[in-house]
Amino acid sequence: MNHAFFLTGTDTEIGKTFASCALLHAWRSQGLRAVGYKPVAAGADLIDGRFCNEDAVRLQRASSTGFELDEINPLCLRAAIAPHLAAQAENRSIELAPLLQGFAHLRASAERVVVEGVGGFRVPLGADFDSADLAARLGLPVILVVGMRLGCINHALLSVEAIAARGLTLAGWIGNCLQVPMPSLAENLKTLNDALPAPCLGVLPYIPTGDAAKAAPHLALP
């Protein structure tokens, strides 16, 4: 059976791609064909004559074989700024329909798809829609990545409220330990477990090399 999830975070730079790649490694270890989808990415480097987003490349490497980078990341914007501003700088617009079509293509080709959002849950993509609108149109269960740092409880609760306001189901949440150790980590994790209306799918340790395969065993997937 094919399953897909929309993965979002409590903020930017809290490990969404790291968590997405860990999920992909975990699913593949179960013998499933899995792929990551980064519909919109802002921030690209010139590699072998083309602009590529680092997170999209990481998703491709963690995915099952046979998926091209353009399939995983159909819209790659060069500037590492808010997507709608990056699109304006290139005289481009972010259209919803191609992003939905790209997802449908991957879903037909894999047993597990993780759709990684950009930034937090409500990042503008255009004048009249944002990443929450994209999630709502996809209609997928949501996985929330909580960057374990001061303020994460408030950010997590606000994100959960926004997810529920769009009529979406929170499938679970993942705690991601960042480079700077969080004071009272265990107590904060307990508070999140008590407060969030979905199970914790795992707490990922900080891994200096960023090797998501080493984090995959820390996930507990149904």
Active site residue 16: no
d(C-alpha 59, C-alpha 18), whole Å: 9
Hey, how many other C-beta atoms are within 10 angstroms of the C-beta on 183? 9
**Gap between the Cα atoms of 127 and 95, Å rounded:** 11
Asked whether the beta carbons of 174 and 203 are under 8 A apart, the reply is yes
Query: Which residues, 6+ apart, have CB-to-CB distance to 85 below 8 Å?
Result: 79
CB 63 within 8 A of CB 34: yes
- Rounded-to-integer distance, Cα 18 and Cα 112, Å: 17
Question: Which residues carry out catalysis?
Answer: 38
